[in-house]
Chain A
Amino acid sequence: MKYEERLQNVTVLGAAGKMGSGILLLTAVEMADLSLLPENKTKTFVLNAVDVSDEALHGLMGYLRTQVRKLAEKKTVLLRKLYADRADLIENYHIIDEYIFDVMNIVRPVNALEVAYNSHLVFEAIKEDPALKVKIFTQIKNNSNVDPWFFTNTSSIPITELDVKAELGGKVIGFHFYNPPAVQKLVEVIRANGTLDEVNEFAMTYAKKLRKVVVPSNDYAGFIGNGHFMRDALYGMQEAQRLSVQFGGFVQGVYAINKVTQDFLIRPMGIFQLIDYVGVEVCSYIMSVMNPYLENEDLHSDLLDKMVAQGITGGQYSSGTQKDGFLKYEKGRPVAIWDVDAKKYIDIAGFAAEVDNQLGAMPTSWKPWKAINFSGTKAATLETIFTEMSTMTNLGASLSKAYNKRSNEIGHLLNDSNVANSTDDVNTVMLTGFYHAYGPINNYLK
């Protein structure tokens, strides 16, 4: 079956979710672009957007329309060529409007799983629950009218386990996008032990057409991305709890570590904001999925469990705005921190100055992540800042050095334990999937 034939009938499961909606968008656009090629103009392309929530599907179509317009506006030069034979489409806006229609016209929003029975490709982006995934894969496979391939967006479950339990015969592959899929360049591709070569080849072609950076990860729970993030987060939480004693309060510890990770270490967001972004509950769940597979290591956080039990989940609303987690947000900015003992948010303004004072000054050459990450002189700037920080002895600099050291250890662990094929792959994942300005394997901080 040729590439475009496989893409003639596709289903995305969990299509209205945070990851599913991005996968749906990218796939819909790829299918529409195929459908516009002269040789495909008589073929019909169908993309089923399956989700349990009608309300979310309703929102999905609005999201899709907005996003397709943005994409179309960026590639109008190409679209004018694709619609060259349409005499009625003259101005850019005629062409852009037609393209939006053509993409939307491929998508069938629906809450019934049965539509997947005719799909050659099933993209799964549902809840990170191994039993649920196996159940749905099995149902589709047993009822399918065709011979479907399964692409799973799992960020933690070993693909081999899904393959074996759902008896997919190697017609499955891990295809892990990063959030948001339409923006983040990275895709981690994970072959199960039995994944067929042709499935892998298709995955590579598909990733290339989507202009993604592919990093192959070996089939260990959590892969490279969560392998680093979950351990990094666990360390951050442990450090925050340790500092709580010194600072005389939990919120001060969280604030300090969030500031160290975001500001001192020049990351796009602090570790607690990142946990909130992914979701407090999701992080807790991912750790619980990964932990049974890990030897000599307990990847588990009582703190996360406690937060979830207190109803603090993080994550995002369907509009994309951030829900409160460790941090409480106003207009996207953290304003307060959840106190697990007092069970309420405490305003940051009340203690920030005191903690800042204890952490001490940042290097004089310091610049924020935003000013560095997209600059052509990134490496030199980081070198200057971290060289200066290496000579500093204040609490902030000391915590940063220790944090960077731990991140570095995690990077090596992933390489040494064969999760990643190289330390470069670990760095690439952090650079392109997490938008870090530098990878965990670095010589910056001494």
Chain B
Amino acid sequence: MKPYKKVYMYGGYNTISLGTGRKEFNPKVARPGIEHYIKEAGQAVLAQIGGAANVDDGVIGNFMAARFNNQANLPGFLPMIDEGLSMKYGTSVEGACGSGGLALQTGIRNILAGSDVTLALGFEVQNTVKAIYGADILAGAGWYQKRKEGHAYFFPGQFSDRAGAYFAKYGKENARKGMSRWFANAMINARLDPTAQEYHNTMPNPYEACLAAEPNGRAFVENLNYFDCSKVSDGASGIAVCSEEGLKKMGVDKSEAVEIVSFVQSVRDITKDPTDLTELEAIKYCANKALEEAGITVHQLSTAEVHDCFSIAGILTVEALGLAAPGKGCDYVAEGNTARDGIMPINTSGGLIGWGHPTGGTGVHQAVTIWQQLTGKAGDYQVEIHKDRPYGMTINMGGDDVTISAIVYKRG
């Protein structure tokens, strides 16, 4: 959809993405809980927008706090952030790893329904259980009737099958080169963002390391190595979604905000297997519809944030966007086109593999990065925003190409 009136985003904030790789992370020491993350992200946004008095309502995106943290009824945490949110409208949304994207979509719809400012948050705190049990919880993003036949590491298993199909159809060697370049880009970008999970990463040659790591189906999955996968993360992100009036109330110039050019949300039947494992059909539909509604082509984007829960998902999204023909996405990436100095920098703060993937928070983190990039606030990871292609885009995915959000932005 194209908004019938101006909708903006402003005041983004990310907590660190905590998990293996961060120096602060020690699995044996107690870590902050969900309250900490919700509060930190929420309060940091409020501090940028003149406080809770300016906020009409709030929405929290989260996937599985009910299992990771034994906590439901998440709207109740909005007033915990600030007393000023007490008794105001609040809701929470869930669409697996696409929950953050749903929070953004809900925020936009709130503004179109008459609100002036929505506080949109997304979070996940997943390090409460070991990865092998976390895999059970995350498998909830798939159809439970299929869990029994699925892999111990359910989602890596799903995308390993996609990688295997891609190898068979288009050749493994080129694909592995593209996937390894994807990983290397993620590390290079994450090292520039102090909140990234891989900020402390010092691998001397991530490309070679990923290329050399042969997948081990006995211990993990057949066609992906650990580098191909996003890690387990704790983290939260927040941003204010607002109307023109809302920006005025906050005292923020619209040039400091991003304007929503189009927003599309699409779902694919969770009970059906993908038609073609080498294509992300829901992402293809949703992203292209967003571009179409915005009235632009993909080549008018200066940067994009895509859902690379696995390197192969990043490659398939490049193809779904039409940046490369089917089977050529790996070459497009391997040639450096998506690197930060390439034609189309993608995932400039590291993406899910580099920045981290606190599942319910990822969609919001993507919007924060695009807001930072388009308004020149990205610090060390700033990339060039070309005058003749002033747009940015986020694509957030829940499950195996099931719950998709795509949003096109430009500077306000």
Q: Please give the residue numbers on chain A whose beta carbons come within 8 Å of chain B beta carbons, in ascending order.
A: 73-74, 76-80, 87, 90-93, 96
A73 touches B132 (CB 8 A): yes
B219 touches A92 (CB 8 A): no
Distance (whole angstroms) from the CB of B232 to the closest CB of chain A = 14
Tell whether B220 is near chain A: CB-to-CB under 8 Å: yes
Tell whether B130 is near chain A: CB-to-CB under 8 Å: yes
Q: How many A-B residue pairs have CB under 8 A?
A: 31
Distance (whole angstroms) from the CB of A422 to the closest CB of chain B = 31
Inter-chain CA distance A79–B219, complex, in Å, is: 11
Choose among B132, B144, B217, B220 the residue that contacts A92 (Cβ–Cβ < 8 A). B132
Closest to B147 in A: A90
Chain B: interface size category: 10 to 19
A92 touches B218 (CB 8 A): no
A87 touches B136 (CB 8 A): no
Inter-chain CA distance A73–B219, complex, in Å, is: 10
Distance (whole angstroms) from the CB of B404 to the closest CB of chain A = 26
A91 touches B139 (CB 8 A): yes
Choose among A87, A90, A96 the residue that contacts B132 (Cβ–Cβ < 8 A). A96
Distance (whole angstroms) from the CB of B350 to the closest CB of chain A = 26
Shortest Cβ-Cβ A-B pairs, 6 listed: A91-B136, A76-B152, A77-B152, A73-B132, A92-B136, A90-B148
B218 touches A80 (CB 8 A): no
- Determine chain A's interface SS by DSSP, over half rule: helix
Contacts of B143 in A (CB 8 A): none
Given A73-B130, A77-B218, 16 more A-B residue pairs with CB atoms under 8 Å apart are A74-B219, A76-B152, A77-B152, A77-B217, A77-B219, A79-B152, A80-B152, A87-B148, A90-B144, A90-B147, A91-B139, A91-B147, A92-B135, A92-B152, A93-B133, A93-B136
B139 touches A76 (CB 8 A): no
Contacts of B220 in A (CB 8 A): 77
Tell whether B249 is near chain A: CB-to-CB under 8 Å: no
Tell whether B254 is near chain A: CB-to-CB under 8 Å: no
B185-235 residues with Cβ-Cβ distance < 8 A to A are 217-220
Contacts of A78 in B (CB 8 A): 218
Inter-chain CA distance A345–B217, complex, in Å, is: 53
Tell whether B151 is near chain A: CB-to-CB under 8 Å: yes
Closest to B148 in A: A90
Distance (whole angstroms) from the CB of A6 to the closest CB of chain B = 27
Inter-chain CA distance A74–B132, complex, in Å, is: 8
Contacts of A96 in B (CB 8 A): 132
Residue of A79, A90, A92 with highest tally of chain B CB at under 10 A: A92
Distance (whole angstroms) from the CB of A11 to the closest CB of chain B = 32
B108-154 residues with Cβ-Cβ distance < 8 A to A are 130, 132-133, 135-136, 139, 144, 147-148, 151-153
Contacts of A87 in B (CB 8 A): 148
A77 touches B147 (CB 8 A): no
Closest to B135 in A: A92
A77 touches B151 (CB 8 A): yes
Closest to A81 in B: B152
Inter-chain CA distance A90–B130, complex, in Å, is: 18
Inter-chain CA distance A114–B132, complex, in Å, is: 41
Inter-chain CA distance A92–B135, complex, in Å, is: 8
Inter-chain CA distance A92–B139, complex, in Å, is: 10
Distance (whole angstroms) from the CB of B128 to the closest CB of chain A = 14
Contacts of B217 in A (CB 8 A): 77
A80 touches B136 (CB 8 A): no
B297-321 residues with Cβ-Cβ distance < 8 A to A are none
Closest to A95 in B: B152
Inter-chain CA distance A374–B218, complex, in Å, is: 22
Inter-chain CA distance A73–B148, complex, in Å, is: 17
Closest to B140 in A: A91
Residue of B130, B132, B220 with highest tally of chain A CB at under 10 A: B132
Can you pick out 25 interface pairs between chain A and chain B where the beta carbons lie within 8 Å of each other? A73-B130, A73-B132, A74-B219, A76-B132, A76-B152, A77-B151, A77-B152, A77-B153, A77-B218, A77-B219, A77-B220, A78-B218, A79-B152, A80-B151, A80-B152, A87-B148, A90-B144, A91-B136, A91-B139, A91-B147, A92-B133, A92-B135, A92-B136, A93-B136, A96-B132
Contacts of A73 in B (CB 8 A): 130, 132
Inter-chain CA distance A78–B219, complex, in Å, is: 8
Contacts of B136 in A (CB 8 A): 91-93
Inter-chain CA distance A289–B272, complex, in Å, is: 70
Contacts of B152 in A (CB 8 A): 76-77, 79-80, 92
Contacts of A90 in B (CB 8 A): 144, 147-148
Inter-chain CA distance A79–B132, complex, in Å, is: 12
Contacts of B144 in A (CB 8 A): 90
Contacts of A76 in B (CB 8 A): 132, 152
Distance (whole angstroms) from the CB of A246 to the closest CB of chain B = 43
Inter-chain CA distance A80–B147, complex, in Å, is: 11
Distance (whole angstroms) from the CB of B25 to the closest CB of chain A = 19
Contacts of B153 in A (CB 8 A): 77
Inter-chain CA distance A99–B318, complex, in Å, is: 42
Contacts of B147 in A (CB 8 A): 90-91
Inter-chain CA distance A387–B84, complex, in Å, is: 69
Inter-chain CA distance A306–B154, complex, in Å, is: 60
Interface string of B233-253 (1 = CB under 8 A from A): 000000000000000000000
Inter-chain CA distance A147–B218, complex, in Å, is: 38
Contacts of A79 in B (CB 8 A): 152
Inter-chain CA distance A92–B130, complex, in Å, is: 11
Closest to A75 in B: B219
Inter-chain CA distance A74–B152, complex, in Å, is: 11
Residue of A73, A79, A87 with highest tally of chain B CB at under 10 A: A73
Inter-chain CA distance A52–B153, complex, in Å, is: 43
Distance (whole angstroms) from the CB of B222 to the closest CB of chain A = 10
Inter-chain CA distance A96–B153, complex, in Å, is: 14
Inter-chain CA distance A76–B150, complex, in Å, is: 12
Residue of A73, A77, A80, A96 with highest tally of chain B CB at under 10 A: A77
Distance (whole angstroms) from the CB of A444 to the closest CB of chain B = 26
Distance (whole angstroms) from the CB of B124 to the closest CB of chain A = 19
Interface string of B150-161 (1 = CB under 8 A from A): 011100000000
Inter-chain CA distance A90–B153, complex, in Å, is: 13
Residue of A80, A91, A93 with highest tally of chain B CB at under 10 A: A91
Interface string of B370-387 (1 = CB under 8 A from A): 000000000000000000
Inter-chain CA distance A372–B220, complex, in Å, is: 27
Closest to B149 in A: A84
Closest to A78 in B: B218
Closest to B144 in A: A90
Distance (whole angstroms) from the CB of B140 to the closest CB of chain A = 10
